[in-house]
Amino acid sequence: MCGSTTEIRMRASMVGPSSDIVADYEELSTLSQDLFGEFENSTEFACYLQAHLDAQAEIPFDGCPVNFDSILCWPRTPSNTWAVLPCFKEFKGVAYDSRQNATRYCHPDGKWDNYSHYTACHHMTEPPPDIVEVTSIIYYSGYIVSLVALSLAVIVFVYFKDLRCLRNTIHANLFITYILSALMWIIILTLQVSHDHESQS
């Protein structure tokens, strides 16, 4: 599987501003259908296919050809101009602000700049509200279960006099500390959640 993917990438990478060789679409389509189908739905494949179609059309163009920089597909751009594309919504599992733009310069000689400017593409620092709500529920559930279990343990140590010894007294004090810690977390989390709801409304 990995070897076939590498083969596709090697063949597809033959399409570029510095090469006159164009990947053969029919040859690529004869590969494994599962692998080809997955690759065909990617931005990378669509970019290489567009470069292939542009090369087949043989329409004179004084500028930079279609090019994939491993992140975005840059369209044909006139020489000595900046290409502008919206930032990607997601990259490697991280969400980005697609309202901003990425840029890349096309030099006067019709060659792309080696560096694409993604400095304006900032990742979304605030998680979606649904994730925050689920996380809060998990926190609440965990602390409440801990609080109940620790309270029962302290009650057992206090109620049964036969269990009173130095070791169990130390454990009881430790449990009381955890109970206070859980109570503080629940209070803080409650205040934080209520504050967030008020700010959203």
Same domain for 3 and 53, yes or no, is yes
Looking at residue 161, the DSSP 8-state letter turns out to be: G
Among residues 125, 152, 176, the one where a domain terminates is: 125
Question: What is the residue-wise DSSP string for 87-105?
Answer: PPSEETTEEB-TTSEEEEE
Q: For 133-153, write each residue's pLDDT tens digit.
A: 788 888 888 999 999 999 999
Residues 192 and 154 in one domain: yes
Confidence (pTM): 0.42
Q: How does pLDDT run across 72-89, given as a tens digit for each residue?
A: 888 888 888 899 988 888
Q: Which two tokens stand for residue 60?
A: 């004179």
Range of the domain at 101: 62-125
Maximum distance among all Cα pairs of the chain, rounded to whole angstroms: 95
Q: Do 104 and 67 reside in the same domain of the chain?
A: yes
Same domain, 149 and 119: no
Per the model's pLDDT, the better-predicted residue between 192 and 138 turns out to be 138
Tell me the sheet residues that pair with 96: 123
Higher pLDDT, 102 or 3: 102
Number of domains in the chain: 3
